[in-house]
A = this chain, B = another copy of it.
Amino acid sequence: MGEKWVLMKTAQTPTNIAVIKYWGKRDETLILPVNDSISVTLDPAHLCTTTTVAVSPAFQQDRMWLNGKEMSLSGGRYQNCLREIRKRAREVEDKERGIKIEKKDWEKLHLHIASYNNFPTAAGLASSAAGFACLVYRTNGFGFDAVFALAKLMNVSEDESQLSAISRQGSGSACRSLFGGFVKWIMGKEDDGSDSLAVQLVDEKHWEDLFIIIAVVSSRQKETSSTSGMRESVETSSLLQHRAKEVVPKRTIQMEEAIQNRDFASFAKLACADSNQFHAVCLDTLPPIFYMNDTSHRQVLIYICWFLLGDVGEKNMYKTKEVLIEMVKSWLWDIVVLGSIPVKSRDMNLWRTTSQKSVIEVAYTFDAGPNAVLIARDRKAAAQLIQRLLFYFPPKSDTDLDSYLLGDKTILKDAGLEGLKDVEALSPPPENGSAQKYPGDVSDFICTRPGKGPILLSNDKLALLEPETGLPK
């Protein structure tokens, strides 16, 4: 074979948000989790990673670039992934160009890998990009994107689940992104991790109504890396093992049912409860890990005020309402509307009458950072949600709406919001007549949907490496 050719593949791979959380490894090297987790894959049109992998006899060593910056490939995680994927490489032939790579050649050939994260985020807002690092790309891991693209380049015959078991060794939770729709990462039982892999529960068409709005919280603080954070939790939290062994197994079954049945109320309750518990375990860690901040708390309280007040369990109706009303009265609201409700009285029917909603229409979940991920039941609920979010968290005066709400902007029309003037004119939500606003707490919102799994891009213009040199464009 000639010495000058470069063979490339470019993939577009999505990100995912867990609704049953992964927190804690039982094996640090193989990245085997202490419990199953479930996630929804986000539409790559709004959030995705583009990855080009290239092979050439001219390459002197394996190299990788992330967002244009060369990264070291010396870490154990990269090496584990590369070894596993090389092991499975098969013969590849490009007859047109007269290139043929035998199975045994892959051992000697070096690779170039370039990844680029498509954050639809306002240019210049560094804080926003920082807030997103943990959401879109685990910088301390080797991406599943590279595993997927390399598998295609090397003509690997393994299916996506098998690839997820390899990709898991580069970056744990990202292995769920090898499918669209809802995905479960099975923890597995084997010591070698061979049965710890991702499976698709339903594809992205199964529950198309959902809208996902991410509130990127302005924050000077960087977070504890999830790798060290979860290690600390495993070592010091006395609650983590109980969660992993007793709580998550039942919750996973219930969540699968809720997803299969498109039962949004159950889905929302489980997702919120599991997010709460993940952050509870972080707090139970020594020293404690704080991912949620005051802005995150406010997001939760908006949600509680809007929905839960109208949908309390029958059994403990009074009790639940009492605490909710106290929370709402106390934290976020100035007690004008709510102050008229006789909290001390047991006649809670009055409140039921004043409540606008009796159905849960939004779920929240928080990953290892302060950003709220809000999942709305449907377009109508999403429009109502974005009205509330933009009311409470308007942009700073120097930001325009177009760079403040990113992703799927069609929702703005449903919400009757065409520009900043409409946002400024928003009335307080009916559940809260005297609401305080928090301009600047959020740097931007991203509206997206459940999305498809990774795909190969056939358009060579989208490749990140030069076809002649294999170096970044």
Contacts and interface: CB of A to CB of B under 8 A. Distances in A.
A396 interface: no
Interface stretch (A62-70, A118-126, A232-240, A350-358): A232-240
A223 B301 CA distance: 13
Interface in A313-348: 316, 319-320, 322-324, 326-327, 329-332
In the complex, the count of this chain's copies comes to 2
A289 B225 CA distance: 25
Contacts of A292: 290
A166 to B, nearest CB: 25
A221 interface: yes
B224 A330 contact: yes
B235 A326 contact: no
A293 interface: yes
A285 interface: yes
A281 interface: yes
Contact of A272 (B276, B282, B286, B327): B286
Interface stretch (A89-97, A104-112, A242-250): A242-250
A238 B277 contact: yes
A242 B246 contact: yes
Nearest to A221: B331
B238 A322 contact: no
A343 to B, nearest CB: 10
Contacts of A243: 238-239
Contacts of A330: 221-224
B269 A228 contact: no
Contact of A276 (B242, B288, B320, B327): B288
A222 B328 CA distance: 9
Contacts of A324: 287
Contacts of A286: 269, 272-273, 276
Contact of A222 (B228, B232, B283, B329): B329
Given A238-B246, A242-B242, A323 B279 contact: no
Nearest to A321: B228
A456 interface: no
A238 B242 CA distance: 9
A284 interface: yes
Among A238, A282, A308, chain B packs the most CB atoms within 10 A around the CB of A238
A74 to B, nearest CB: 11
A262 interface: no
A304 interface: yes
A277 B272 contact: no
B287 A327 contact: yes
Contact of A242 (B239, B282, B319): B239
A317 to B, nearest CB: 12
Given A242-B239, A281-B280, A297 B287 contact: no
A224 B319 contact: no
Among A231, A283, A304, chain B packs the most CB atoms within 10 A around the CB of A283
Nearest to A140: B344
B297 A293 contact: yes
A40 B235 CA distance: 29
Given A228-B319, A277-B284, A281-B280, A289 B239 contact: no
Given A276-B288, A297-B290, A238 B228 contact: no
A389 to B, nearest CB: 18
A227 to B, nearest CB: 9
A44 interface: no
B293 A323 contact: no
A280 B282 CA distance: 8
B323 A231 contact: yes
A329 B283 CA distance: 19
Contacts of A294: 293-294
13 contacts: A231-B323, A235-B316, A235-B319, A238-B247, A239-B242, A276-B288, A277-B284, A280-B284, A287-B324, A289-B323, A289-B327, A290-B297, A294-B294
Given A229-B323, A238-B242, A239-B280, 11 more contacts: A221-B332, A235-B319, A238-B246, A239-B239, A239-B247, A273-B286, A276-B283, A277-B284, A280-B280, A289-B327, A293-B297
